[in-house]
């Protein structure tokens, strides 16, 4: 008379228990591979932003020696008119389409002039992106955002 062995049945049960776990691991692997390929490349706003750990000494704007060909664009939201105004090196533009034409003309003269965008707190994001895109499309080599050093951490 032949007795059944526990070794053969135990080994078979271990293999049966591993099969679903292997399936789950492969499904997770496939999920993460597929999910990682759908990421959007971060090249839409190619502006260099300072790292969070850097510390700079505050510079008084009156003591700063501005470049002769610096282009300062200050965007201000006028609540009375409910529209964005732009101040380009001291000249006020009430229409952003006129500002875009002036920026294109400035870029034709001097593309290496740095553009500094000083954005008011309540300016709509669409207007900020419009002016930024115009500066990049015009071909300016450097488009930067002004930051208030007192707001930094």
Return the CA Rg of the chain: 30
pLDDT at 90: 83
Higher pLDDT, 14 or 35: 35
How far, in Å, CA of 106 to CA of 7, rounded? Answer: 85
Q: Where are the domains of the chain?
A: 7-35, 71-148
How far, in Å, CA of 121 to CA of 110, rounded? Answer: 29
How far, in Å, CA of 111 to CA of 107, rounded? Answer: 5
CATH code of 71-148, in short, is 3.30.420.270
As a whole number, mean pLDDT of residues 138-142 equals 84
In degrees, rounded to 5, the angle at the alpha carbon of residue 43 between the alpha carbons of residues 131 and 57 is 70
Which residue intervals of the chain are DSSP H helices? 6-37, 96-109, 125-138
**Single pTM value for the model:** 0.52
pLDDT at residue 28 greater than cutoff 90: yes
């Amino acid at each position: 008379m032949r007795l059944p062995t526990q070794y053969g049945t135990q080994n078979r049960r271990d293999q049966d228990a591993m099969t679903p776990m292997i399936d789950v691991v492969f499904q997770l692997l496939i999920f993460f591979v597929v999910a990682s390929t759908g990421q959007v490349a971060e090249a839409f706003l190619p502006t260099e932003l300072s790292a969070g750990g850097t510390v700079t000494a505050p510079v008084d704007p009156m003591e700063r020696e501005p470049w002769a060909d610096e282009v300062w664009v200050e965007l201000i939201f006028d609540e009375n008119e409910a529209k964005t105004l732009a101040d380009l090196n001291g000249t006020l533009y009430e229409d952003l389409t006129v500002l875009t034409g002036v920026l294109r003309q400035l870029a034709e003269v001097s593309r290496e002039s740095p553009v500094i965008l000083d954005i008011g707190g309540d300016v709509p994001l669409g207007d900020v992106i419009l002016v930024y895109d115009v500066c990049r499309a015009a071909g300016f080599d450097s488009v930067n955002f002004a930051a208030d050093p007192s707001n930094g951490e």
